[in-house]
Amino acid sequence: EDQVTQSPEALRLQEGESSSLNCSYTVSGLRGLFWYRQDPGKGPEFLFTLYSAGEEKEKERLKATLTKKESFLHITAPKPEDSATYLCAVALNTGNQFYFGTGTSLTVIP
């Protein structure tokens, strides 16, 4: 069965304390892996797409990496405004769906 698992469920960081969020997947035929940010009461906001193992993407304090079994979202020197829920999703070579993980709720304390 295709699965997407995110860890940890929740993470509290001090401002400036770098860390990583994990998204592991067990799927047959990965077409792409996607990271989203979701603020309370809002829709998910697209961050990154990764298509192949070894690929990396960066945006401000965020860096996403991909291996054959998992993806990491590295947050360097986070600020309170980085507080949000981060979702990952996968698309498969077969079918037209995205499969979402349940997210990591990140809180950055000033």
- Note the residues at the interface with another protein (CB under 8 A): 31-32, 34, 36, 41-46, 49, 87, 89, 91, 93, 95-98, 100-103
| Encoded tokens for 73 | 């979202």
CB of 5 to another protein, least distance (A): 10
- Whole-angstrom Cα distance, residue 11 to residue 104? 7
Of 43 and 110, nearer to another protein (C-beta) is 43
- Whole-angstrom Cα distance, residue 30 to residue 85? 23
CB of 110 to another protein, least distance (A): 27
CB of 31 to another protein, least distance (A): 4
Of 67 and 94, nearer to another protein (C-beta) is 94
- Supply the DSSP symbol for 82: G
CB of 2 to another protein, least distance (A): 11
Of 78 and 101, nearer to another protein (C-beta) is 101
| Encoded tokens for 64 | 């996403």
